[in-house]
Every structure is written in structure tokens, then in C-alpha cells.
Amino acid sequence: MRAVTTWTAPLPDGTQREEAALVFDKGREHRLLVIPPLFDEANKFRRQLVEIMRRLDLSGIDSVLPDLPGTGDSLLPHAEVTLAGLRKAAQAACEDFRITHCFCVRTGAMYAPSSLPGWRYAPIAGRNSLRSLLRARTLAAQERGESETTADLEAQGKASGLVAGGWHIGPELFAALGAEKLPHTQQMVDIDHETVGGSPLWLRAEPDEDPEQADALAAVIAIGLLGT
Amino acid sequence: MTGTTETNEKKGLPPSRQAIDDKLRAIIADVLGLDRDHVETFDGDTGLFGHLPELDSMAVAGLLTEMEDRLDIIIDDEDVDGEMLETYGGLLAFAEMKVIEG
């Protein structure tokens, strides 16, 4: 059954804070951690993630979608989010919810726990999403008749952080996303969007859900876990 | 036409104009949430930026990033101007030029 619970998330400075988590939890054998992408794609994909979780629940698989500090409904300012902090929090969520497998989407692959088996859906490196955010900002500046270049913004982002696409990105997150490649993994299987088919939901202007795509993704996970 | 494209890709040649056209239409449909059949009716003079309400600066950013990913090109700041985004024909010509450059 779907429920919202709380969990204790670690912060980079060693303190902790209480965050929410959406769970389909019946204490079953297979327990999946769901990791959304960063920035706007998280909002665009959240409804679809819940659709996938609902299908997995019907297949007998528990799943957990935790707010990591600074993401989802967390009250931690987004400017304080760091890549190391996201990784630490995702790892802590695994222990807290006794997770057995992980499913991450897009830039979620940048901070998914490396120790668990699972799936990465259409994974992209952080620098690709930064590039898109900076481009939106330079285009908006152009429309206002101002001039901003991607190179200037990159320097500013690394030095002091910046706001792009409405997201306050701190210098540490900016630098880490720009520098780090998509992690190599032996444990996780990549699912290309072509396998799922249809129009990618993270590209839409408004959040949406797609039952057929949710069926396809839930089927890949359920078959992997249950072998049926 | 499909056969030609496959042969070209096997030889490591740039994709044919038709293949770039197909990919570009798919990208526009995906990014702007438009019906694929509607995008198929676009011709060279069909207006884009300033004509399609879906195409705001955030959508332009998404469109250009998807073009980079799917056409395997790099689009620089100075490439982006009103002319390139004004019509479908302009955007297609830009994409073809970038693919050949790449």
C-alpha cells in the first residue's frame, strides 16, 4: 500500500535531518530504491516514477522514493546540495529501508549507490544537464537583450555557484557535475529509452505520465527480480 | 531511402539528409510534446521560434541539447541566433551543416 513515511537523512556536515519518503512497503523480499534525476527532470518524472512503483507493488516488489536532503519536498535549500551529500544520503536510505536493488533515472545515475544491483534508465552525465540549464539561461539573457556566455557562467558556477533554470546550484555541486563522468558499473543494467519507446517524459514542458512506458519499465525490473 | 542510410552508416559516412530530417522532426515532436503527424506536415517555411507557443527559451535549450545528443554534434553559443530557429527549413539547414562539420 502507498504511504508517506519519514526517515533520518545524513547531511554532509555530519548532522542529520528528517526527510519524507514515499513507500510501497509490505516487508517483501525485493525492495527497490528509486532515485530520480536532478533539477527539473525530477519534477517532470515524479508522477511517472510513482506509476512505475504502483505497478511493481502489484508484482510483489516493495519500493521506496526518498526525498534526499535538498531534493523533492525537502526543506534544505537547494544551494546546499552537493554530489557527495546526495551519494551519502542515498547510501543511508539503502540501509534505513533495507534496500536490495536500485532503479535510477537520468542524472540519478550520478549519485546512485554503487554497491547495489539494479537498473539505470537513460543515464546521462551531470555535465549534459548542466549544459542544458546554462543554455536556457544564456538564451533567456539573449531575449532580454543582455549577453552571457556559457564559458562565463561555467567560471561563475565553479567559483560561487549560480541560479539557472530556477535552480540555485552551489559551487561544489556545479564543479562535481561538470567534472565527473557517468560512473562505470558492473552491478547495474542500463535501459535505453529506445527499449521503452514513445516520447521521453523528461523532455515535456509539463509533468506527465505514460502508462505504456511505465508498463515497459516496470516489466524490465519485475522480470529481472522475479524472473517471470 | 532507409537502405541507403544503413549503407552510409556502415561506411562511416554522415547520415543522409533524409535521416537528419527524420531525426529532427522526432526531436521537435518529443521536446515540444507535439503530435508526430503534425510535425510531419512542417515544410521549410513553417515558423518555429515566435510561432509555436511551446517553444520558449527553456524548450529551445532542451531542443538544442537533444539535437547535440541525437545528431552527435556540438552547438556553440554563437551558433544560436534568430535565423536558425525561425523556420523549420533554417533549423534543418543548420543541423545538416553541423553534421557535415562534425
pLDDT tens track for A66-96: 999 999 999 999 999 999 999 999 999 999 9
Residues A110 and A82 in one domain: yes
Domain that holds residue A169: 127-181
* Burial zone of B82 (CB within 10 Å; 0-12 exposed, 13-18 middle, 19+ buried): exposed
Mean pLDDT of B63-70: 91
Asked if residue A108 and residue A23 are part of one domain, the reply reads yes
Report CA dihedral (B24, B37, A200, A161) to the nearest 10 degrees. 50
Whether B80 has a pLDDT exceeding 90, the answer reads no
Closest chain B CA to residue A134: B61
Using pLDDT thresholds of 50, 70 and 90, give the confidence band for residue B13. Answer: low
C-alpha cell at A103: 532503479
- pLDDT recorded at residue B55: 85
Task: Calculate ∠ Cα A41-A45-A49, nearest 5°.
Answer: 140
Burial of A3 (0-12, 13-18, 19+ CB in 10 A): exposed
Q: Which residues in chain B have their CB less than 8 angstroms from residue A165's CB?
A: 58, 61
Domains and CATH numbers, chain B: 16-101 (1.10.1200.10)
Which residues of B have a CB under 8 Å from any CB of A?
29-33, 54, 56-62, 64-66, 68-69, 77, 80
Shared-domain flag, residues A115 and A139: no
**Whether residue A114 is found in the same domain as residue A19:** yes
Looking at the fold, whether A116 and A132 belong to one and the same domain comes out as no
Spell out the residues 6+ positions from residue A208 whose beta carbon is closer than 8 angstroms to its own: A44, A47, A48, A201, B33
Is the separation of the CB atoms in A121 and A49 below 8 Å?
no
Cβ pair A21, A4 in contact under 8 A: yes
> Can you tell me whether residue A198 is helix, strand or coil?
coil
Residue ending a domain, among A147, A162, A181, is A181
Residues A117 and A222 in one domain: yes
CA distances B32 to A129, B19, B21, B68, Å, are: 18, 20, 16, 16
CATH number at residue A201: 3.40.50.1820
Cell numbers 517555411 correspond to B45
**A189/A171 same-domain check:** no
Residues A181, A125 contacting (CB under 8 angstroms): yes
Cross-chain Cβ contact B64/A135 below 8 Å: yes
* Burial status of residue A14 (CB atoms within 10 A of its CB: 0-12, 13-18, 19 or more): exposed
C-alpha cell at B84: 536558425
The verdict on A82 and A131 lying in the same domain is: no
Which residue out of B27, B49, B57 would a mutagenesis test of the A interface target, given it has the greatest number of A Cβ atoms within 10 Å? B57
Contacts of B61 in chain A (CB under 8 A): 132-133, 135-136, 139, 165
Altogether, the residues listed in chain A come to a count of 228
Contact by Cβ (8 Å): A205, B52: no
Decide which of A181, A198, A217 is a domain's last residue. A181
Same domain, A195 and A104: yes
**Which cell numbers in the block locate residue B16?**
543522409
Distance in angstroms (rounded) separating the CA atoms of residues A93 and A33: 8
Q: Are strands A16-24 and A2-10 parallel, antiparallel or unpaired?
A: antiparallel
The answer to whether B49 and B38 have CB atoms below 8 angstroms apart is: no
Residue B22's pLDDT band (cuts 50, 70, 90): very high
Ranking A10-14, A88-92, B86-90 by mean pLDDT, the lowest is A10-14
Nearest to A174 by CA among A59, A83, A78: A83
Check residue B49 and give its pLDDT.
Answer: 86
Q: Considering only CB atoms, which chain A residues are within 8 Å of B56?
A: 205
Cβ atoms of residues B17 and B100 within 8 Å: no
pLDDT at A42: 95
Same domain, A44 and A149: no
For residue A61, which phi and psi values (nearest 5 degrees)? -120, 130
Are A56 and A159 members of one domain?
no
Q: How confident is the model at residue B1 (pLDDT cuts 50, 70, 90)?
A: very low
Cα A150 to Cα A139, A141, B85, B98: the distances in Å are 10, 11, 19, 19
pLDDT band at A114 (very low <50, low <70, confident <90, very high): confident
Number of domains in chain A: 2
Cα–Cα distance for residue pair A126/A178, rounded to 1 Å: 6
Residue that has been written with the C-alpha cell 538564451 in this structure: A139
Look at residue A48 in the predicted model and tell me its pLDDT: 96
- Is the domain of A46 the same as that of A145? no
Residues of B in contact with A126 (CB under 8 A): none
